[in-house]
Amino acid sequence: MTVEKSLPDKYKNFSEWYNGIVARAKLVDIRYGVKGFIVYRPSIMYIINRIYEVYERELQATGHEPCLFPVVIPRSSFKKEAEHIKGFEQEVFWVTKAGEHALEEPVLLRPTSETAMYPMYALWIRSYKDLPLKLYQGGSVYRYETKATKALLRGREFLWIEAHDAHRTEHDALNQVHEDMKIAEKVLYEELGLPFLLLQREDFDKFAGAVITYAFEVLFPDKEVVQVATTHYLGTNFSKPFNITYLDEKGNAKHPHQTCYGPGISRIAASVICIHGDDYGLILPFEAAPIQVIIVPIPMKQAVKNVLAKCRELEKNLVKAGLRVKLDDSDATPGEKFYKWELLGVPVRLEIGPKELVEGTVTVFRRDTRERLKVKDGELVKHILSLGEKILKTLREKAEKFLKENTHTAETKKELLKIAKEKGGIIRMNYCGNKECADYIKAETGGFEVRGKRMDVKERPDGPCVWCGKKAERVVYVAKAY
Amino acid sequence: MTVEKSLPDKYKNFSEWYNGIVARAKLVDIRYGVKGFIVYRPSIMYIINRIYEVYERELQATGHEPCLFPVVIPRSSFKKEAEHIKGFEQEVFWVTKAGEHALEEPVLLRPTSETAMYPMYALWIRSYKDLPLKLYQGGSVYRYETKATKALLRGREFLWIEAHDAHRTEHDALNQVHEDMKIAEKVLYEELGLPFLLLQREDFDKFAGAVITYAFEVLFPDKEVVQVATTHYLGTNFSKPFNITYLDEKGNAKHPHQTCYGPGISRIAASVICIHGDDYGLILPFEAAPIQVIIVPIPMKQAVKNVLAKCRELEKNLVKAGLRVKLDDSDATPGEKFYKWELLGVPVRLEIGPKELVEGTVTVFRRDTRERLKVKDGELVKHILSLGEKILKTLREKAEKFLKENTHTAETKKELLKIAKEKGGIIRMNYCGNKECADYIKAETGGFEVRGKRMDVKERPDGPCVWCGKKAERVVYVAKAY
């Protein structure tokens, strides 16, 4: 009994693969009647809820507390930080009416919540004892995107978490950025198997209002990068106009230094889908999997009862071991069940038929390698727990290999153009720091953008700017991006 | 060491008590700059997240799956069901602009999601095999309330869950309503200790577009009722205009019968706070408590290390037993810690000092009765697990007693007026069914409303309508309501 491939090769035709998996696995429905707004269906919501859970767990473990601010922001508050308005004013939705009456002051749907939260921070923060203040909220934000939208990757409503922290000093705030990096490493890399580049954006590419912007980027099968999270050091750019002050030990009023951190949950879900998936469907690492183990009975007439009894016993034992397990005792055929649960990416399948009954074994199918193995009943729980680790490792290594193989260094302009044209992926190069060069590169390579220098590793340029030949200031990474 | 009361008696001055607890426990902040919109702070978010978790668990256990529809609804879709528009058009917020451009078609913020979801149901439902379709989503909805707003109880943005189910027949849909009732019983009554009345609303008081509306109401300390959830049988009122059809086994096209179910999570949180709380603060049943057990070390100089070591060991054992535990090893004094955690309603506190070290005991403080008891180390885990049950039972019984004591039967108009004036609470009476009588009752009692007849118990009127003296059709419950 084997399942047939239902999707094309994602490396050869990514767009078709992606549209195929979105439709077949019923992840989202793009036919909702408002442009840029999609419907999240159960198969993606289960995964999204898992990702929220993991991220929130790590945020809470580092002292962040949950909160929830209104979806609407008063215009007066939005207008307080000049750079921030410039960056967002073209893409905010305005609520102007209620019933048949015009609102006295129009309010906007949050595109991000700095201007919602910081007026309250000004009320809550009084003394150094109130710092650090570390709050986060999960939920949707709204941006009137004019670029082409793509399910889960770019839309006018997207799901994220935003953590807003206020610290006493620049030093503490920059440490926060490092903590944010550690959290991303734990969640994205360790738990979800997604390797990423951590890049400091060029000044012309910063978050509106930030002093420094760092971005976490993953590489998709079509060799374009996707920004899955950002963290910003805001300095006192917001605490000054929003009048947030604290009294230090000596009674001097000071402005706290702020950071904000935004993991994009829809985009992380899309990354799990695209980076790990294959021609049969999704492949979920254990942490992202709403169902970690699916049990499929293979009943023959004479053994239906005993097969089901064994399945139920296994289910009980595995639940007890802390696993998320489902016994599929529906009327579908085993073949239909195999197809469905492979498509949905359940990492481990157990098959139990009369043979396994007699042998005292279980047939274990591992979704990532699609290998089948017989395991003795007594060893099953241990085997599955270690299999969870193995699957994660395999997925992560595969993704790392792809990232490494598709990162190239360009020594010259000619090389840059050649790699961009023939290989694609991420291009590493010496860079002068001028926006003009970045603009030319984008124009002449058909879309490759300067994404920034690495934050986690110090890299010194070993030659002049690859584009203009002038003195290089840093090594940057250049790629097409979603 | 005792904690002083910081709040007035909630039965004597409920409003002051409520404002006091909201401020002291930092539940929400009402100073956000948009009328009717509040900020949920960590201490309430933890509780709200717990309530979501419990409710979603029960919804999933009954075959509901999570989904998420956009916050905005196209005007054309909103306008499809005539009664529904009439009911909501005065209270919807309209998004009319993005950036500086007017939208081609204005969209509204969801006040409830029938008109967002059902156009998709029309696409998804094809055959009887697609039924029942049972989906739910959690999150915020938006209504331009003109009544006075009150934190967590009435606002322009509130948190709820909405489950929308499509069934083949009226019979199946009415069974769904019963399932919804069972879920409420499990969550509200069994897990959160909140007794409720389940009432069928009068026709003039139905949800806009429903065939029948049922409401779940709890009684607050000020003797007013709060509707914490509703469930509606929609018949084919929506499936017809939204053109939702399925083919039955014989190939005939039919409209499914629909239901929708809306537990109000902010209101349930408010009910837990108000119905269980006392003069010292919140009292949380185990299921609603983010922290079930708080451990407070009482260190004396000579035993600091050993006390802390014992605390940590206890913490480990209790976590292992599946409990949510926190060791408060902050710099605050034990008295400050007692005050804080009592205010926040942690159901069980453990106190460990040099005495307990010597005796091999732990002092266990129970938040609901405020009793202290010494328990032997070896019996602690078992004791706490059973204490969770006891606390829940005590809270539930207290709430039930209050509900019972404040429900009165009025045999005559004079009695009705007297009870309304002197006792308040819920009044049970024979009723003719005419809206006119309900309007008179409301006007002449200063706000008592006919809330409906019981759904779970058949009650026959034993006399004429208490108000007009004409033939009574049913026994209804009358109360002031939030």
Task: At A186, list the tokens.
Answer: 């734990």
Q: Which amino acid is at A320?
A: K
Q: Which residue, B58, B265, B268, is CA-closest to B141?
A: B265
Radius of gyration of chain A, Cα coordinates, nearest whole angstrom: 25
- Nearest by CB: A99 against B32, B90, B119: B90
What type of residue is B476?
Answer: V
pLDDT tens for residues A225-237?
999 999 999 999 9
CB spacing of A65 vs B45 below 8 angstroms: yes
CA–CA separation, A285 vs A345, rounded Å? 9
Q: Which of A37, A68, A100 sits opposite B70 (nearest CB)?
A: A37
Q: How confident is the model at residue A3 (pLDDT cuts 50, 70, 90)?
A: confident
* Dihedral sign from CA coordinates of A40, A44, A46, A48: negative
Tokens 């034990």, located at residue:
B334
Cis peptide before A106 (omega within 30 of 0): no
Contact present, A197 and A225 (Cβ < 8 Å)? yes
Q: How far apart are the first and last CA of chain A?
A: 39
CA-CA distance, A43 to A403, in Å (whole number)?
A: 27
Q: Which residue has the tokens 């904690």?
A: B3
Q: What is the mean pLDDT of each run of 10 residues along chain B (482 residues)?
A: 86 97 97 95 98 98 98 94 87 96 95 97 98 98 92 96 98 98 98 98 95 98 98 98 97 98 98 98 98 94 88 96 96 95 98 94 98 96 97 98 98 97 98 97 97 96 97 98 96
Other beta carbons within 10 angstroms of residue B460's beta carbon come to 8
Please say if the pLDDT value at position A302 is more than 80.
no
Under 8 Å CB pairs connecting chains A and B tally to 144
B364-413: pLDDT as tens digits: 999 999 999 999 999 999 999 999 999 999 999 999 999 999 999 999 99
The distance of B88 to chain A (nearest Cα, Å) reads 8
Interval A29-46 mean pLDDT? 96
**In Å, how far is A32's CA from the nearest CA of chain B?**
7
Q: Give the separation between CA A288 and CA A391, rounded to whole angstroms.
A: 12
- Long-range CB contact pairs, A8-12, < 8 A, 24+: A8/A279, A9/A279, A10/A221, A10/A274, A10/A277, A10/A278, A10/A279, A11/A221
Reported as a single tens digit per residue, the pLDDT across A258-275 is 999 999 999 999 999 999
| ipTM rounded to 2 decimals | 0.96
Q: Domains in chain B and their CATH numbers?
A: 14-276 (3.30.930.10), 291-392 (3.40.50.800), 409-479 (3.30.110.30)
**How much is the pLDDT for B301?**
78
Q: Compute the mean pLDDT over every residue in chain A, rounded to the nearest whole number.
A: 96
Query: Nearest CA of chain B to the CA of A358: how many Å?
Result: 33
pLDDT at A1: 66
- For residue A311, the model assigns a pLDDT of 96
SS3 B264: strand
Nearest CB among B39, B48, B91 relative to A69 is that of B39
What CA–CA distance (Å, rounded) separates B468 from A72?
48
Contact between B39 and A135 using a beta-carbon 8 Å cutoff: no
d(CA B482, CA A12): 60
Is B93–A98 a contact, with Cβ atoms under 8 angstroms apart?
yes
Q: Which of B40, B68, B96 sits opposite A40 (nearest CB)?
A: B68
Other CB atoms within a 10 A radius of the CB of residue B302 amount to 9
CA distance B31 to chain A (A): 8
Contact B254, B170 (CB under 8 A): no
Does residue A84 have a pLDDT over 90?
no
Question: How large is the angle between the packed helices A265-276 and A42-61, nearest 10 degrees?
Answer: 110
Question: Which residues on chain B are in Cβ contact (under 8 Å) with A344?
Answer: none
Q: Do A71 and B97 touch (CB under 8 A)?
A: no
List chain B residues with CB under 8 Å of A46.
Answer: 65-66
Burial of A182 (0-12, 13-18, 19+ CB in 10 A): exposed
Instruction: Give the best residue of A29, A50, A92, A94 to mutate against chain B (max B CB count within 10 A).
Output: A94
Q: Do A94 and B93 count as a contact with CB atoms less than 8 A apart? A: no
Which residues of chain B are within 8 Å of residue A34 when distances are taken between CB atoms?
Answer: 70, 72-74, 107
Instruction: Look at B95 and A109 and tell me if their CB atoms are within 8 Å.
Output: yes
- pLDDT of A346: 98
The closest of A208, A154, A134 to A35, measured between CA atoms, is A154
Chain B contact set for A42 (CB, 8 A): 65-67, 135
* Amino acid residing at A169: T
B362 forms beta bridges with B375
Counting every residue written for chain A, the total comes to 482
Integer Rg of chain B from CA: 25
pLDDT at position B346: 98
Residue A205: name the closest of A442, A471, A420, A435 by CA.
A435
A157–B71 C-beta distance less than 8 A:
yes
Chain B: residue whose CA lies nearest to A155: B70
Is the model's pLDDT at A156 over the cut of 90?
yes
Record the pTM. 0.97
